[in-house]
Amino acid sequence: METFLIKTLQLILSLSILVFLHEFGHFFFARLFKVRVEKFYMFFNPKISLIRAKKINGKWEVKFFAPNVPSRERQKINSEGAGITDSKGKPVMEIIPLEELNDDDWRKHPESTEWGIGWLPLGGYCKIAGMIDESMDKTQMSLPPQPWEYRARPVWQRLPIIIGGVLVNFILAMIIYAAVLFTWGQEYLPFDNAKYGIQFSSIMIENGFQQGDKILSVDGEHVEQRADFIEKVLIDGKKNVSVLRDDSLQLTIQLPDNFSQQVLASEELNLVSVRYPFVVEDVQSGTPAEEAKLQKGDSIVAINGEQCSMFQDIVKELDKNAGTYVDVSFYRNGEVLTTQLQLTENAKMGVILRPAYEYFETKKIEYGFFEAIPAGISLGWETLTSYVKQFKLVFTKEGSKQVGGFGSIGKLFPSNWDWQIFWSMTALLSVILAFMNFLPIPALDGGHVMFLLYEMITGKKPGDKFLEYAQTVGMILLLSLLIFANGNDIFKAFFK
- What residues contact residue 249 under an 8 Å CB cut-off, 6+ apart? none
Name 464's bridge partners. none
- Look at residue 77 in the predicted model and tell me its pLDDT: 84
Q: With 0-12 CB in 10 A as exposed, 13-18 as middle and 19+ as buried, what is 175?
A: middle
CA distances from 317 to 120, 204, 350 (A): 46, 20, 15
- Look at residue 484 in the predicted model and tell me its pLDDT: 61
- Look at residue 479 in the predicted model and tell me its pLDDT: 72
CA distances from 184 to 17, 178, 415 (A): 21, 10, 20
The dihedral built from the CA positions of residue 130, 136, 140 and 145, taken in this order, carries a sign that is positive
- Look at residue 171 in the predicted model and tell me its pLDDT: 94
Q: What is the mean pLDDT of each run of 10 residues along the chain (496 residues)?
A: 76 88 94 93 91 91 92 81 79 83 87 92 86 67 82 92 93 94 89 87 89 89 86 85 87 87 77 88 86 87 86 87 86 87 85 84 88 92 82 60 57 76 90 86 84 86 76 74 62 58
| Local structure of residue 232 (DSSP, 8 states) | I
- Look at residue 495 in the predicted model and tell me its pLDDT: 59
- Look at residue 52 in the predicted model and tell me its pLDDT: 94
Q: What are phi and psi of 243, to 5 degrees?
A: -130, 160
For the chain, what's the residue count? 496
- Look at residue 409 in the predicted model and tell me its pLDDT: 63
d(CA 312, CA 277) in angstroms, rounded, equals 9
**E-only strand ranges, 11-58:** 37-44, 48-56
Q: What are phi and psi of 254, to 5 degrees?
A: -100, 120
- Look at residue 133 in the predicted model and tell me its pLDDT: 65
This prediction's pTM = 0.81
